[in-house]
Structure 1
Amino acid sequence: MDTKLEKTATAMALQVPDAERVNRRKFLSYAGMAAATAAALYACKKDDNKMETAPAGSIDLGKGDIGILNYAYALEQLEAAFYTAVIASPYSGITMAEQALLTDIRDHEVAHRNFFKAALGTSAIANLEVNFSAVNFGSRDSVLATAKAFEDLGVAAYNGAGKLIVDGNYLLLAGKIVSVEARHAALIRDLISNGSFADNTAINADGLDLAKAPSEVLTAAKPFLKSVLWGGNLPKQ
């Protein structure tokens, strides 16, 4: 890998503002992960396959492993924006324990978002515009139901994208992040209904988490976005 590229990725990762760093439990090491991802990105730049043209007004996630990283980055942007809004205006009756836990989740999602942005560099998609008009941030039921939908979707998205990833470094990264997302999903489910963290709506008969293709995930995320995402160049199943 180009030493200059590695140093650039590391520097970008370390320049995340202090206010947006994970300030409670650090699940990611920005510099190390950004450097490893930059190495794979450098290799992907040699791929000269032609790309389809995205519809006017949409955001093309890209192709190959870079496309999958942008796909993950888009989902992390959505989750980070949601939990940031939750903590900025806590729902009625929120307990100190709930606020602390949701703050932890916010910090994790912000960390994921910032990592992908730093690692992708100039290959990153633009910042997304979200649409949370259907969420009542003053209602515990509305907030937790939306959180459950996002966390379950995130787990299924990473699980579904795993087989599309070519580079082993990316697969390792996805495995580390999906395990954190699954912890979030379990917590949110238990906040809604104690003991539901691994019921049959999240785990199949073989004891495995569910998986969804990018097309399914993008369709499910669409109502929460003003930006229009297009995955026509993503790897196919």
Structure 2
Amino acid sequence: MSKQQQSSGLPTLPGGIEPVMVGRRLFLRYAGAFAAGGALIASCKNAEENPITVPVSVDLGTGDIGILNYAYALEQLEAAFYTQVVATPYANMSAAELAILTDIRNHEIIHREFFKAALGTMAIGALVPEFGTVNFTDRTSVLSTAKAFEDLGVSAYNGAGNLITSPDYLLLAGKIVSVEARHAAAIRDLLNPKSADFAGDDVVAPATGLDVASKPTAVLPIAQTFVKTPITGANLPTA
């Protein structure tokens, strides 16, 4: 076991790959780059210059690796969305709203880079987002989409928990889903301030007090509408 693995506390992935924790310096590098919007703009420019390019289909894989790639795909989507939101603020975005959305963007970038580093050579490639249905100049359009993404992410982590065999990965998923739930509550409060909607009946069952859980077969078709890259989870575990 290397010193790096000892410090991260994560198990070695198949093939002897050691997970890598994303440090503050690495995060700041990514956050600064994406705050400028350069990577996203370059990606969009390349897509416009190569309109006939067809994205290669991505298979998430099997077992725990497949579930980690599943989470990585969702984090890619969320990170790309919030990067665009912060780079091009909607009309009359308040300083408080910008601060909240920037924090969420930073968290999603950290989550994305963590999964990318942890998966190493087994990570899927970069997905191409498709946000054509989102009006980034309109507050309601942006926050409604953010609400949908956060609710989807929370339900996805909840639904994938029992598909993970490694206790270490399950613990990590639990830590990340708790952050995603905080995001969901914050976005709901922006849309409907000081209401009970932060934990509405559509996401928390009144009878049980438990959050919604959705399997990959239900989540991926929804996520796919915001991603140009075809994604298949046909080989993911189901039980």
3-state SS, counterpart of residue 152 of structure 2: helix
Distance 2:237 2:135 in 1: 36
Residues 208-227 of structure 1 correspond to what in structure 2 (within 5 A)? 208-227=210-229
Amino acid at match of 1:92: A
Give 1:125's aligned residue. 124
Structure 2 partner of 1:191: 190
- Where 1:197 maps in the other structure, the secondary structure is helix
Q: 1: CA distance between counterparts of 2:31 and 2:137?
A: 26
Q: Which residue of 1 aligns with 2:144?
A: 145
**Aligned ranges for residues 43-122 of structure 1 at < 5 Å?**
57-122=56-121
How many residues align? The count is: 203
C-alpha spacing 1:165/1:4, structure 2 compared with 1 (3 Å): same
Instruction: Specify the alignment match of 2:26 in structure 1.
Output: 16
- Residue deviations 1:77-130 (CA, integer Å, cap 9, x gap): 000000000000000010000000000000000000000001100010000000
How far apart are 1:16 and its partner, in Å? Answer: 2.6
Decide whether aligned partners of structure 1 residues 148 and 17 sit closer, same or farther in structure 2, where only a CA change above 3 A counts. closer
2:128 maps to amino acid: E
In the alignment, the residues of structure 1 paired with residue 147 and residue 214 of structure 2 have an alpha-carbon distance, to the nearest angstrom, of 16
TM normalised by structure 1 equals 0.81
Off by >2 Å, runs of 4+ in structure 1:
2-22
Q: Partners of 2:125 and 2:186 in 1: how far apart?
A: 30
Q: 1:191 to 1:62 in 2, by over 3 A?
A: same
TM-score by length of 2: 0.80
Give 1:232 shift. 0.7
> Could you tell me how far 1:4 is from its partner in structure 2?
8.2
Kindly indicate whether the alpha-carbon contact (under 8 Å) linking 2:158 and 2:177 is maintained by their aligned counterparts in 1: yes
CA distance in 1, matches of 2:69, 2:112: 10
Query: Which deviates the most, 13-22 or 168-177?
Result: 13-22
Distance 1:100 1:232 in 2: 39
Specify the SS of the correspondent of 1:134: coil
Q: How many angstroms does 1:19 deviate by?
A: 2.9
TM-superposition CA deviations, 1:143-171 (whole Å, max 9, x none): 00000000000000000000100000010
Decide whether the 8 Å contact of 1:151 with 1:185 is kept in 2: yes
1:76 partner amino acid:
E
Percent identity between matched residues is: 58
Q: Contact 2:80–2:129 at 8 Å: present in 1 too?
A: yes
Alignment partners' CA distance in 2, 1:197 and 1:6: 38
Distance 1:162 1:171 in 2: 6
Please tell me the root mean square deviation across aligned C-alpha atoms, in Å. Answer: 2.0
Q: Report the AA paired with residue 234 of structure 1.
A: L
> CA–CA distance in 2 between the matches of 1:149 and 1:11?
30
